[in-house]
Amino acid sequence: MTVERKKTITKDILNGALLDSFKKLNPWVMIKNPVMFVVEIGTVITLLLSIAPELFGSTNVGRGYNIAVFLILLFTLLFANFAEALAEGRGKAQADSLRKTKSDTKARLVQKDGTYKEVSSTSLRKGDIVRIEIGEIIPSDGEIIEGLASIDESAITGESAPVIKEAGGDFSSVTGGTRVASDYIVVKIMTDPGESFLDRMIALVEGAKRQKTPNEIALTTLLAVLTLIFLIVIMTMVPMAQYLNVKLEISTLIALLVCLIPTTIGGLLSAIGIAGMDRVTQFNVLAMSGKAVEAAGDIDTMILDKTGTITFGNRMASEFIPVSGTQAKEMTFVALQASVKDETPEGRSIVELANKLGESWQAANYIGSEVVEFSAETRMSGLDLEGGTKVRKGAVDAIRKYVEALGGKIPHDLETISNRIAKAGGTPLAVAMGDRIYGVIYLKDTVKPGLKERFAELRAMGIKTVMCTGDNPLTAATIALEAGVDEFIAEAKPEDKIAAIKKEQQEGKLVAMTGDGTNDAPALAQADVGLAMNSGTMAAKEAANMIDLDSDPTKLLSVISIGKQLLITRGALTTFSIANDIAKYFAIIPAMFILAMPQLQALNIMNLASPESAILSALIFNAIIIPLLIPIAMRGVKYRAMSADRLLSRNILIYGIGGVIVPFIGIKVIDMVLHGLNIV
């Protein structure tokens, strides 16, 4: 299913983010971000310097300079808060949309004596049994224990076509907020109020329960350490300046500290994480944690089921093979006649293949014909034409017995053809008209289009793909070659999937897999990233750390790309932020000491107008670069399928070297504007 990307930034979200930018100035909120908390302390000090400079012994610079530093620092804080608030606002808007789906509906609770009691959906508890009729809303997540119905899941997935759910098997799970479109079902409630998948998704996209991932914690620790190091450096500069008889103003020291600590990534770090989670939810994937999304970005091996994931799961006509003594055109025409009234996927595929081969049919020619439906007893289907001619297709042994009963001869190569098809993993269907067998239809499970290219992309990323199937090795090899997977496991049982996952993990690799059945639950739990289908069983969904609301097994490919994009975005902006410090160093350090040490003029390679202009220019650039990078933080750095080494080299080239060059240009332009306006 193709997910339509909706407009995510609205006027209401922007207005809300502007207001939240000021609310987040609360020190108890800012202290969670050590880098920006240091900036806030510096902002408060420069505010006091602007009001009463004599309190700090600051008399060498004008009040206007201190006010300018204060305002720039304030806007630096507001821009950083705005980035985080904008990401949170987008999540809240999506949560509001989901909350409209979640309503307090009435439920028909089944009592112990078999009677029904109408109750509110919010009063339902795990283990309760409810009956839902056609047109009614499913009150909470659960599993069907009786009945079969088509379920309209458009409110959750956006897909208009209803899906069939029934008791037992892998398609018994239903989601609260969806609607029964036909028949009725009896559902056992599997969650308590506030614990449904929809509730968890709302909490996730709002960011209310979003915990920092291990990578975020590690990066936050690194930024805090860098901030502490630069703070010590600034403190040691004071006695050095006194030794050189240089008077360093407190506001200048604060400006230097703010410019040298990684404020850019410090201001954008939280927004990157929230926006990354938001991109996952836009693809209708419910991630139980940010850790799962990041783990997807580090995946080394992906294990996929064959049926329904790599292949369509429906047998499709691939070839018409005539027996000896029969022309290919004759065989094609008889196969077409046997299938013109067959509405099964196999029957429609036979008609489609015959049309491609140049055969056609007119409905008017078959008005008086009688359809013979397939049955387990006869294992045949077909058409009784006007005039008494009977056309049949079915299992080879069934057609053989049928023809023999009519006194017909069995072609000597029939068994050879059918055995060849079976060994290749296909299904042979013999075709007969009257007492003569014309040939065999080769049915095979068709690989989904485009998968080979997507697996090639994964290979370029360094991700190995492994196909698991219950088919024999010959069939598995044929499908694996056609699909383009790296390896396959034939005649696989549930325990074989777990063994395959453990083997990869023992080699230090991260493993992802998809599944929808109860027998997939152990493997989903064992995998580092387990993507369960929303149409699957509750056991599978509880074991996985991601749930695809569209029930599209190939969605894991997109999730991996999103996870990698999240990691790359964070790494790219961190590289850019740290690289920025080089240019700021060349702007501020010479400006601070150039009067006492004229030799430092050699470091003033940007030829900035004055010390004050240099400091303010670097500080202004440090502030405005944050909002300029917000679109990248929200949208993510464009991900391209390539090896980790090439990806690292590319990002260093763009965001490392770019992070050095851009500030030189930006600071110089700002300096020229300030000098031209005679502001400093």
Is the C-alpha dihedral spanning 342, 347, 349, 350 positive or negative? negative
439/429 Cα distance (integer angstroms) = 8
- Residue 436 assigned as binding residue: no
- Residue 378 assigned as binding residue: yes
Could you tell me where the DSSP H helices lie in 31-101? 34-51, 63-101
Q: Are 517 and 541 in contact (CB under 8 A)?
A: no
239 burial class (0-12, 13-18, 19+ CB within 10 angstroms)? exposed
Q: Are 445 and 310 in contact (CB under 8 A)?
A: no
250 burial class (0-12, 13-18, 19+ CB within 10 angstroms)? buried
What DSSP element (H or E) covers 383? strand 380-384
- Residue 374 assigned as binding residue: yes
- Residue 377 assigned as binding residue: yes
Residue 305 falls in the annotated catalytic set: yes
- Residue 160 assigned as binding residue: no
Specify the residue for token string 């490919």.
Answer: 557
393/385 Cα distance (integer angstroms) = 14
- Residue 583 assigned as binding residue: no
162/648 Cα distance (integer angstroms) = 44
Could you tell me where the DSSP H helices lie in 594-677? 611-635, 644-651, 658-676
582 burial class (0-12, 13-18, 19+ CB within 10 angstroms)? middle
Q: Are 250 and 49 in contact (CB under 8 A)?
A: yes
Residue among 506, 509, 513 nearest 540 (CA): 513
- Residue 146 assigned as binding residue: no
DSSP string for 232-292: HHHHHHHHHHHHTT----HHHHHHHHHHHS-HHHHHHHHHHHHHHHHHHHHTTEEES-HHH
Catalytic residue among 152, 305, 528, 548: 305
- Residue 555 assigned as binding residue: no
Alpha-carbon distance values, 127 to 104, 109, 145, 172, 580 (Å): 19, 11, 12, 15, 58
Q: Which DSSP state fits 55?
A: G
188/167 Cα distance (integer angstroms) = 11
Helix, strand or coil, per DSSP, at residue 91: helix
Residue among 679, 663, 676 nearest 605 (CA): 663
- Residue 346 assigned as binding residue: yes
Q: Which DSSP state fits 518?
A: G
- Residue 593 assigned as binding residue: no
441/525 Cα distance (integer angstroms) = 41
596/599 Cα distance (integer angstroms) = 9
Three-class SS of 153-206: CHHHHCCCCCEEEECCCCCCEECCCCEECCCEEEEEECCCCCCCHHHHHHHHHH
- Residue 328 assigned as binding residue: no
Burial 551-579 (b: 16+ CB within 10 A, else e): bbbbbbbbbbbbbbbbbbbbbbbbbbbbb
Active site residues: 305
Annotated binding site for Mg(2+): 516, 520
Binding residues for ATP: 342, 346, 374-381, 393
Binding-site residue numbers are 342, 346, 374-381, 393, 516, 520
